[in-house]
Amino acid sequence: MHAATILAQLDHVTDPSTGGLVPSIHPSVTHARQGSDIALGYARSGNSGAALVESILIQLEGGAAAAAFGAGAAAAQAVLATLRPGDRVLIDSGLYYEFGRIIGAFAQRFGVGLVRVDLCDPDAVARCLATAPTRLVWAECPSNPLWRVPDLAALAALAHRHGARLLVDATAATPVLCRPLTLGADLVLHSATKYLNGHGDLVAGVLVAAEDDAWWHEMLAAREAHGSVLPPFEAWLLLRGMRSLALRMERVSETARALASWLALQPQVRAVHYPGLLQHPEHELARRQFKGGFGGMLSFELGDSAAAIALCSRAKIFRLSTSLGSPESLIEHRRSTEGEASDCPPGLVRLSVGLEHQDDLQADLRQMLCAEGLKRMREAAILQEAAAPVVAVGLCSPPRP
């Protein structure tokens, strides 16, 4: 069955007591046993809403088990809880900065070895895995904020050859576009706060495992011990948001690809990072791994931080904010968000493309870039002590086909 059908019907959900086609909210902390039936038990272990989220994600990802959490970070912490002092973890050199900070602090505190490597370079990964025993390879597909695409099948084969497991954070792709478990990954992580929910009104996370094994049960035990199960009300909101996931991913993928193609033609833009562009270094790989689009996230570069900050401040439709996956489109200067320790390009602008009309978003980007172009021409004119007035020819003309 197609993902869109599973999501629209929430796996044919029917309330057993009323016949309603919307799942009920069951906030009860504990549950009575009825005869020989096994009750849900204590709420710290789960609830009916979280169980339905998990059941749907198992189907979408092609997994054996799933667990819903109160945050994407809580899901990540459940995985980290399975590591022991002396274990070694490979992470991507361009890993999302916030998780890099979290896992870095964890590794330092608990004596876990942390090695950064370009996971889009299989040869570099192979050399790194050969140097010492490794417990886990932690990848993103695509990576944030440069949207690189690692070869998941190759990474899984390399990890397994050296006795390691492969975890893939597929938050930006969602199971509608990419299913890492079918490519050999052992575990998929989603910050369900983002696209799975899609409405910017809750915090949640999900893990989906390829096998229901002892490693998986360590994560479940960590969730119960930490009390980080997804609560009933948040589970209900997440289920409501997931109904439209397939349609939303189709829309944002279409709009993001059009905007990325247009941005690549603008003289003020030095580079555009989007897997759907032919010039993207992993475009062909992305075409094989992604089905139905390349997602709604893209980045582009201007000359320096000052230019990027000024451009973002001129946004009228895009909202100047961090996060992704909500109906409204967002823009941010990434280095300002990440701080001085950031290693992303100084002029990088990150876009989360939402559900607005493509023409309006493009018009907003055009007016931002036109102002940047005029500023650069004026500065050049002053430096050259030009006598004649500067005319901004072509800077605001319609995009070339």
* Whether 54 and 140 share a structural domain: yes
The CA distance from 78 to 49, in Å, is 20
User: Is the same domain home to 250 and 226?
Assistant: no
User: Is 250 found in the same domain as 234?
Assistant: no
User: Residue 394 above 90 pLDDT?
Assistant: no
Please tell me the total count of domains within the chain.
Answer: 2
Residue 36 has pLDDT above 90, yes or no: no
pLDDT over 80 at 34, yes or no = no
Catalytic residue among 96, 97, 195, 274: 96
Catalytic choice (11, 44, 118, 314): 44
Q: What is the residue range of 374's domain?
A: 246-383
Instruction: At 200, list the tokens.
Output: 């910017």
389 assigned to some structural domain: no
Same domain, 261 and 192: no
51 lies in a domain? yes
375 carries an active-site annotation: no
Distance CA(334)–CA(178), nearest Å, equals 25
User: Which tokens is 273 given?
Assistant: 């990072």
Catalytic residue among 92, 151, 169, 364: 169
3-state secondary structure of 116: strand
Quick one: 321 and 374 in the same domain? yes
Looking at every residue in the chain, the average pLDDT score rounds to 92
- The answer to whether the CB of 177 falls within 8 A of the CB of 275 is no
Q: Residue 97 corresponds to which amino acid?
A: Y
Q: Determine the straight-line distance between the first and last CA of the chain, rounded to whole angstroms.
A: 38
Q: Tell me, yes or no, whether 223 and 287 share the same domain.
A: no
Please check whether residue 309 is in contact with residue 331, taking contact to mean a CB–CB distance below 8 angstroms.
no
Structure tokens, 172: 């930006």
Q: Give the residue carrying structure tokens 């409405």.
A: 199
**Tens-place pLDDT, residues 285-316:** 999 999 999 999 999 999 999 999 999 999 99
Residue 386, pLDDT score: 55
201 is catalytic: no
**pLDDT for the residue numbered 341:** 79
Q: How confident is the model at residue 177 (pLDDT cuts 50, 70, 90)?
A: very high
341-364 confidence digits (pLDDT tens): 788 999 999 999 999 999 999 999
For residue 193, the model assigns a pLDDT of: 98
Point out the domain boundary residue: 221, 242, 263.
242
How many degrees, rounded to 5, is the angle at CA 163 between CA 162 and CA 168? 95
Known catalytic residue at 169: yes
Q: Which of 135, 179, 194, 334 is catalytic?
A: 194
Q: Are residues 195 and 254 in the same domain?
A: no
Q: Are residues 305 and 160 in the same domain?
A: no
pLDDT at residue 272 greater than cutoff 60 = yes
Domain contains 250: yes
The CATH number assigned to the domain holding 291 equals: 3.90.1150.10
- In a domain? residue 393: no
- Is there a contact between 146 and 344 (Cβ–Cβ < 8 Å)? yes
* Helix axis angle, 152-161 to 122-131, nearest 10°: 20
The yes-or-no answer on residue 343 being catalytic is: no
Final residue belonging to a domain, choices 242, 264, 290 = 242
| Domain CATH code at residue 92 | 3.40.640.10
Residue 226, C-beta contacts closer than 8 angstroms, at least 6 positions apart: 74, 77, 78, 81
Q: In the numeric block, which tokens belong to residue 195?
A: 């696209």
Mapped onto helix, strand or coil, the DSSP state of residue 169 is strand
Q: Do 232 and 253 sit in the same domain of this protein?
A: no
